[in-house]
Structure 1
Amino acid sequence: MSRSLAVGTAGAAGGGAVPSGRRARELSAEAARLHEAARALLGDHTRALEAVRTAFAPLRAERVAEELDGIPVARLKDATEGRLRITAIEAAGFATVRAVHEARRHELRQVPGVGQQTADRALAAARQIASAVEETVAVRLDVDRPDPRTDALLAALYPLVEAGPELRRAVDAAVRLDERLGVLLPAARAAGSRMRLALSGRRRREAALAAVAGAGELLAESAARGVPLLLAQATADLLRAPVSELEARVDFEVRSAEYYGLLAEVFARGPGTGAAEGSLPAEVAERVRAQPLDDRYRRVSLRGYQAFGARFALAQRRVVLGDEMGLGKTVQAVAALAHLAAEGHSRFLVVCPASVLINWTREVGARSTLRALPVHGPDRREAYEEWRAHGGVAVTTYDTLHTLPAPDGAPPGMLVVDEAHYVKNPGTRRARAVAVWTGACERVLFLTGTPMENRVGEFRALVHQLRPELLPPAGQGSGAAGAGAFRAAIAPVYLRRNQKDVLTELPALVQVDAWEEPSPADREAYRAAVAEGNFMAMRRAAYADAEHSAKLRRLRELVREAAENGLKVVVFSYFREVLATVRDALGDGVVGAVSGEVPADRRQRLVDGFAAAGGHAVLLAQIEAGGTGLNLQAASVVILCEPQLKPTLEHQAVARAHRMGQVRTVQVHRLLAADTVDDRLLRILRNKDRLFDAYARRSEVAEATPDAIDISDASLARRIVEEEQQRLAAQPV
């Protein structure tokens, strides 16, 4: 089909007189075939969507019923602004809104004291509440509990997911063709016969010739853009033979984010506007919504909030995207780069930690048609010059950036700085190197889920690199005036969305503080570390004697339980020595250990092997290496060997597993030793978490005091050591 259309359009595009007679008939026939292909695709797509809706209906109805079952019948009174008398209905045993919603009219009218008007009002109020619940209820698909209804839904979604983002482009093209050819083809019929054309009135003749010319231009445009092939491929994808329940279930485990994203698209549902837009000021949100987003060079469909994030980066030009871990900041950045490439920009630069350089290279290649070029290692200069000459997305590391030539008069179309909290201290070499490029680039996108770890000043430093005019000098307002003023000041540059607000399909996150009573050997090691004033030794004292370690005993129990259930486990610790002890204790079940000493490419291979392992497996990770940039959603059990000095480290680590794409409930077990440094750390760190909530977690006004957390890791350690020395000195040995 595409070949014949291409041949036919060559003549139409070649200029000269408007075709009539035989040539007009040929053009009309080709246009009719293209129109038929477009209409056929739209029909197939409509049937595929209807199959999804049909399969989804019983699952949604069940969830709505569960929600209504938890709403007391008294809420019906609220829905009628107090006009409904429900005493008699309650007395008759209708305890929940679900009971009323599922009742028939005659059942309610048989209740003593309930007349026709009361029954009708009660049913109308129940329907109103049910409708509201239906709009917001989240349906989670549990792969560990096979259900015929879930299998039917996955099978219905499979062809749409398999077709990928190209299907959306094909459908959009088909809609445009249907609209235009539906008008042009009837008008062009008169031009198919010279005699009929000659006998037509002047106005009809001109309309017919214009329609033929329009059809020819449309055919040429469609052929140039590959539309016939696009339609044919999309139709073939939708007409694939049905897959087995097992195939659909396995595919869902691998690509659950695509399945859930498609569900949200089918039902035009998702997080509320405020959640997706981070509660930005109205004028900023309006400007962002008006920003177009070209998907020509993109290979991935975006969730609504992700599309908004990409538009935010484009509209506001120099921004911090502070989405919580697991929401797809990388995808949003790639979408922005793809849009700029469609506008004619040819070069882009990504700066990231070495641990995620390979992941960035993969993501750019998988999510777009842009060429990713690693600029790292001994060949970095050659790679840099190739990027300068031929374009693409250069991906380099913080430690490499300062060795590259400074930007010249043609800076990249966008600079993306991943894990941007790495440059929170403007005095460091990496921050200075990044500042050189941010100063040269018109568009800069900082990505970080933790813009503030210890002080408000860290957050200020990031914003200052992008828009220094937004914040006065420290102590003259903004942060010093409280979280509300600070948030208002940085509104044009900062966007954050949280998982619980936009990923309603995420499975549960179960967090357990596993307190263990230290063994005598644990206590002895701990006392020795305190006496030495060695803070780090105090933190790892619970693992000093592996044979008698209470924490290690509990860790083995958790791993054994996970193995019995076929679950994958990731174990985090700050200390390589602790991970080595854990590895010796667990033996063959460990697939590897990710640490700062492991090269970035080796880290990714370890994660890939962990994900590919059939059934149970254990991956060990040093929390500062494995908690950044790596996707660990294959794990559904997370074990934290000790509390961290920064709560953001723990949040990052947990979010590596509890993120978009996770299909199982994630269990997080934090191992804690009673009456030790663990206890002291938790109390102090709660204040850090509270300040992060006030200043960075929410893109809206909140109140706090900026110096409430003005404490460095070193001073925190000294404080705890001194407290423990005093406490233990007062205890009998």
Structure 2
Amino acid sequence: MAEGGSTDSGAPTGRAARELLTRADGLLAAARAVLADHERAVVAVRTALDPLLDALVRQDLAAIPVSRLKDVTEGRLRIGAVEQAGFTTVGQVYAASRYELRQIPGVGAQTADQTLAAAARIAHAVRDTVALRIDVDAPDDATTALVTAVYRLVAAGPDVRRAVDGARRLSDRLGPLLAAAAPARGRLRLVFARRRVRAGALQAVASVRDAVADARERELPLLFGQVSVDLLRDPESPVAAWVDFELRSAEYYSLLAELSGTGPDRDAAEGFLPSGMADRVRGLRLDDARLRVSLRGYQSFGARFALAQKRVILGDEMGLGKTVQAIAALAHLAARGETHFLVVCPASVLINWAREVRARSTLRALPVHGPERAAAFAEWRVSGGVALTTFDGLHTLEPGGVRPGMLVVDEAHYVKNPETRRSRAVAGWSRRTEHVLFLTGTPMENRVEEFRSLVRQLRPELAPAVTPTHGAAGSQAFRRAVAPAYLRRNQQDVLTELPALVQVDEWEEFSEADRAAYRAAVEAGHFMGMRRAAYARPESSAKLQRLRELVAEAAENGAKVVVFSYFREVLDTVREALGDGVFGPLTGSVEAGRRQRLIDGFADARGHAVLLSQIQAGGVGLNMQAASVVILCEPQLKPTTEHQAVARVHRMGQIRTVQVHRLLATESVDQRMLDILARKERLFDAYARRSDVAETTPDAVDVSDASLARRIVEEEQRRLGAG
């Protein structure tokens, strides 16, 4: 057998086989190292988490009367003697030992054991429901240890899941193969092996070669090395971990819910679907190889619902991540071989869609909009990816021979009237596509006719069965009636494990009028004019259009909204655009008593209401926790100004998750400000923001207004060739 040759089957032998097996040993060691590093990180989190959960469980058990032990045993347990001995709560029994209970007159070994078992069952049920809340304003040693432990997993990013899954599969595959291939590690050993053993070894070598080649093609060696390093990286300091927690708290809570096994009620998280349908959706394994984000449990279920039911409406309440669920469904289909996808949305969110697709997945986003629309669409037909177009542009696109793997229609209530051109265009593409996903935050149980119109495009056989009676019977009755085509979850049902703050950057593209106003301000070197330019032409303002949409969606969900801007002129424009029934604006010239009356009126208003405020006035000394939606009309020069304004809403007494929407214009002063401010030292920001001085005098820790303004004006003049 020649040194370094191969068999008839192509399996390497001799030196080539030994080198291959050595490489495979290294790959297997790297895979096992990733698994070990991940396990250590998980154990560290659980070690810090368990005492905190135990304390919450004990707190809840202390409020449960001892008589509830009889309910667990359906009345068979006699606890009279236990009660007479002074045990009044389940918590006291749970903390007791078998020996202590045996000392009670009339309590034998069997009764003691049954009593402790009943208390343990209640404790187990309580543990499944407790929700840990981490108070960033009152960190202690226990929560700091937990945040620091979770930091390693969060900082390592979404690649951790892919690395661990890949390492586990590779380890399961390579381990037995390398054992079977052992005779091929030595020439003489292989020569003198029995024929069956030799044949098995050579076959195993061939399989090892395939496994190594597949791992290299998927870039697993590089991934394993990077993730192992990331999982071993501690934060620079406890404060650094707390800073990261504030910036990405949703990811921390998502991981904690996953590791603790706690979370929202399953029926609510699954939209009260019938059990058989929910089982079928749960049974679908979501392929996340093309995703760059970890999904929360309810988000994973939403994506699987869209895939399993194929033609559906996802109607989750505003702020629950409908976009990322849609992207997860697209990524799953892409991992299974689909190449072309189409997203239709209002022009105001097209840029956001492009950014989200690129940030949350490895899919290629291709905006099909504007003067280059035809060329972009032709490129998509040839090369594939996620084509992003608007309702008004869709009718100009001819599919030709392309059948998208999925059609996603955002803000689907735009096509509720089947007679409009946009609805006919959507229907035409829908008929060509097996998977169709409509997204809308509008609660359909309040608009049964609108729902029936939408569902006719998706599942015409279901439409006749939907009547106004279903809506009148309440949301759960409506959802069960339309379950095959509709999934909706509310914040209060599924965000129990999350902190009460969700921040969204709403990127908009200037309209032509916006762009002209902006260029004029740049040419004049007018920094404040540049910041206001997006609202200079209200009739065509892209930001104002998005603001109207956000307010309308909040109105549909009965949520109160606070709109902040630095500029009185912008608030006047917003007030005129929204019409009657708007409170404010609160400005520095409004005396304190009237300010409080405005806020009280806003809080007392039934259901939806809008309050306008200058950010300087609303950010100091006023509590606005009646609101659950904050809209920032433009970014601020001082990050602390935004922080203080949002804190008026997101504070003690707030019972709903707060959504913060920051309206931003691409290729503008907004983007330049964020780029420059992002370069500031994050830790310095955090130390300063946590200090009393920073809270009372933001100027002390922020960059100079004048230098920042001058720098941005000069950059924009150079970019636009103006001034």
- The TM-score, its normalising length taken from structure 1, stands at 0.69
**Secondary structure, in 3 states, of the residue corresponding to 1:262?**
helix
Counterpart in the other structure of 1:496: 488
> Are the counterparts in 2 of residues 320 and 448 from structure 1 also a CA contact under 8 Å?
yes
Cα–Cα, structure 1 residues 437 and 589, in superposed 2: closer, same or farther, change >3 Å?
farther
CA distances 1:504-552 after superposition (whole Å, capped 9, x unpaired)? 213479x9999xxxxxxxxxxxxxxxxxxxxx98745998999699774
CA distances 1:81-108 after superposition (whole Å, capped 9, x unpaired)? 2222333333333221111111233433
**Secondary structure, in 3 states, of the residue corresponding to 2:234?**
coil
AA in 1 matched with 2:430:
T
Counterpart in the other structure of 1:682: none
Report how far residue 114 of structure 1 moved. 4.0
Counterpart in the other structure of 1:152: 145
2:385 is the alignment partner of 1:354: no
Counterpart in the other structure of 1:38: 31
- Of 302, 305, 309, which aligns to 1:312? 305
Report how far residue 411 of structure 1 moved. 3.7
Cα–Cα, structure 1 residues 96 and 410, in superposed 2: closer, same or farther, change >3 Å?
same
CA distances 1:328-382 after superposition (whole Å, capped 9, x unpaired)? 2111100111122223333322222333223222211110112223334444444
2:83 is the alignment partner of 1:90: yes
Whole-Å separation in 1 of the counterparts to 2:600 and 2:481? 50
Report how far residue 147 of structure 1 moved. 1.6
Whole-Å separation in 2 of the counterparts to 1:381 and 1:638? 52
2:223 is the alignment partner of 1:230: yes
Cα–Cα, structure 1 residues 412 and 242, in superposed 2: closer, same or farther, change >3 Å?
same
Report how far residue 612 of structure 1 moved. 4.4
> Are the counterparts in 2 of residues 542 and 549 from structure 1 also a CA contact under 8 Å?
no
2:384 is the alignment partner of 1:341: no
Whole-Å separation in 1 of the counterparts to 2:248 and 2:485? 32
Whole-Å separation in 1 of the counterparts to 2:583 and 2:601? 20
Counterpart in the other structure of 2:390: 397
> Are the counterparts in 1 of residues 448 and 467 from structure 2 also a CA contact under 8 Å?
no
- Of 33, 45, 49, which aligns to 1:52? 45
Counterpart in the other structure of 2:665: none
Counterpart in the other structure of 2:462: 470
AA in 2 matched with 1:56:
L
Counterpart in the other structure of 1:372: 365
Report how far residue 481 of structure 1 moved. 10
Q: What is the 5 A alignment of 1:18-167?
A: 18-167=11-160
Q: Which moved more, 1:196-205 or 1:539-548?
A: 539-548
Report how far residue 52 of structure 1 moved. 0.8
Q: What is the 5 A alignment of 1:645-656?
A: none
Whole-Å separation in 1 of the counterparts to 2:443 and 2:6? 55
Report how far residue 151 of structure 1 moved. 0.9
Report how far residue 280 of structure 1 moved. 2.5
AA in 2 matched with 1:502:
V
Cα–Cα, structure 1 residues 372 and 133, in superposed 2: closer, same or farther, change >3 Å?
same
AA in 1 matched with 2:258:
E
Q: What is the 5 A alignment of 1:609-620?
A: 609=636, 612-613=639-640, 616-618=643-645
Q: Which moved more, 1:214-223 or 1:260-269?
A: 260-269
CA distances 1:249-303 after superposition (whole Å, capped 9, x unpaired)? 1111111121122223334454454333323234433443343422222111112
Whole-Å separation in 2 of the counterparts to 1:103 and 1:372? 60
Cα–Cα, structure 1 residues 655 and 486, in superposed 2: closer, same or farther, change >3 Å?
same
2:568 is the alignment partner of 1:554: no
> Are the counterparts in 1 of residues 649 and 658 from structure 2 also a CA contact under 8 Å?
no
Counterpart in the other structure of 1:586: 617
AA in 1 matched with 2:135:
D
Report how far residue 470 of structure 1 moved. 1.2
> Percent identity between the aligned chains?
57
Whole-Å separation in 1 of the counterparts to 2:288 and 2:411? 25
> Are the counterparts in 2 of residues 423 and 430 from structure 1 also a CA contact under 8 Å?
yes
**Secondary structure, in 3 states, of the residue corresponding to 1:146?**
coil
Whole-Å separation in 1 of the counterparts to 2:475 and 2:143? 45
**Secondary structure, in 3 states, of the residue corresponding to 1:396?**
strand
AA in 2 matched with 1:294:
D
> Are the counterparts in 1 of residues 5 and 16 from structure 2 also a CA contact under 8 Å?
no
CA distances 1:200-220 after superposition (whole Å, capped 9, x unpaired)? 211111111112222122111
Counterpart in the other structure of 1:327: 320
**Secondary structure, in 3 states, of the residue corresponding to 1:469?**
coil
2:399 is the alignment partner of 1:407: yes
Cα–Cα, structure 1 residues 29 and 369, in superposed 2: closer, same or farther, change >3 Å?
same
Counterpart in the other structure of 2:290: 297
* Higher relative contact order (CA closer than 8 Å, sequence separation 6+): 1
Cα–Cα, structure 1 residues 549 and 146, in superposed 2: closer, same or farther, change >3 Å?
closer
> Are the counterparts in 1 of residues 62 and 91 from structure 2 also a CA contact under 8 Å?
yes
Q: Please tell me the root mean square deviation across aligned C-alpha atoms, in Å.
A: 4.1
Cα–Cα, structure 1 residues 588 and 20, in superposed 2: closer, same or farther, change >3 Å?
closer
Report how far residue 439 of structure 1 moved. 3.1
**Secondary structure, in 3 states, of the residue corresponding to 2:366?**
strand
Whole-Å separation in 2 of the counterparts to 1:148 and 1:89? 37
> Are the counterparts in 2 of residues 421 and 452 from structure 1 also a CA contact under 8 Å?
no
Cα–Cα, structure 1 residues 189 and 654, in superposed 2: closer, same or farther, change >3 Å?
closer
Mark the runs of 5 or more structure 1 residues left unpaired by the alignment: 1-10, 515-535, 562-570, 591-602, 620-632, 641-649, 658-733
Mark the runs of 5 or more structure 2 residues left unpaired by the alignment: 502-556, 561-577, 622-629, 662-723
> Are the counterparts in 2 of residues 13 and 220 from structure 1 also a CA contact under 8 Å?
no
> Are the counterparts in 2 of residues 415 and 441 from structure 1 also a CA contact under 8 Å?
yes
Counterpart in the other structure of 1:636: 650
Cα–Cα, structure 1 residues 18 and 634, in superposed 2: closer, same or farther, change >3 Å?
farther
Q: What is the 5 A alignment of 1:651-670?
A: none
Cα–Cα, structure 1 residues 634 and 609, in superposed 2: closer, same or farther, change >3 Å?
farther
AA in 2 matched with 1:75:
R
> Are the counterparts in 1 of residues 582 and 609 from structure 2 also a CA contact under 8 Å?
no
Counterpart in the other structure of 1:711: none
> Are the counterparts in 2 of residues 184 and 212 from structure 1 also a CA contact under 8 Å?
yes
Report how far residue 60 of structure 1 moved. 0.6
Cα–Cα, structure 1 residues 614 and 148, in superposed 2: closer, same or farther, change >3 Å?
farther
> Are the counterparts in 2 of residues 474 and 480 from structure 1 also a CA contact under 8 Å?
no
Counterpart in the other structure of 1:517: none
> Are the counterparts in 2 of residues 349 and 415 from structure 1 also a CA contact under 8 Å?
yes
**Secondary structure, in 3 states, of the residue corresponding to 2:461?**
helix
CA distances 1:154-192 after superposition (whole Å, capped 9, x unpaired)? 111111111122111111221122222221222222123
Report how far residue 654 of structure 1 moved. 6.0
Q: Which moved more, 1:126-135 or 1:147-156?
A: 126-135
Whole-Å separation in 2 of the counterparts to 1:513 and 1:333? 24
CA distances 1:632-685 after superposition (whole Å, capped 9, x unpaired)? x99516999xxxxxxxxx99x96568xxxxxxxxxxxxxxxxxxxxxxxxxxxx
Cα–Cα, structure 1 residues 307 and 248, in superposed 2: closer, same or farther, change >3 Å?
same
AA in 1 matched with 2:180:
A
AA in 2 matched with 1:88:
A
> Are the counterparts in 2 of residues 572 and 638 from structure 1 also a CA contact under 8 Å?
no
2:409 is the alignment partner of 1:417: yes
Cα–Cα, structure 1 residues 374 and 573, in superposed 2: closer, same or farther, change >3 Å?
farther
Whole-Å separation in 1 of the counterparts to 2:615 and 2:66? 58
Q: Which moved more, 1:466-475 or 1:64-73?
A: 466-475
Counterpart in the other structure of 1:173: 166
Cα–Cα, structure 1 residues 507 and 588, in superposed 2: closer, same or farther, change >3 Å?
closer
Whole-Å separation in 1 of the counterparts to 2:594 and 2:346? 32
**Secondary structure, in 3 states, of the residue corresponding to 2:464?**
coil
> Are the counterparts in 1 of residues 344 and 390 from structure 2 also a CA contact under 8 Å?
yes
> Are the counterparts in 1 of residues 318 and 441 from structure 2 also a CA contact under 8 Å?
yes
CA distances 1:10-52 after superposition (whole Å, capped 9, x unpaired)? x999986433332222222111111111122211111111111
> Are the counterparts in 2 of residues 610 and 617 from structure 1 also a CA contact under 8 Å?
no
Cα–Cα, structure 1 residues 544 and 323, in superposed 2: closer, same or farther, change >3 Å?
closer
Cα–Cα, structure 1 residues 127 and 150, in superposed 2: closer, same or farther, change >3 Å?
same
Counterpart in the other structure of 1:599: none
Whole-Å separation in 2 of the counterparts to 1:229 and 1:158? 22
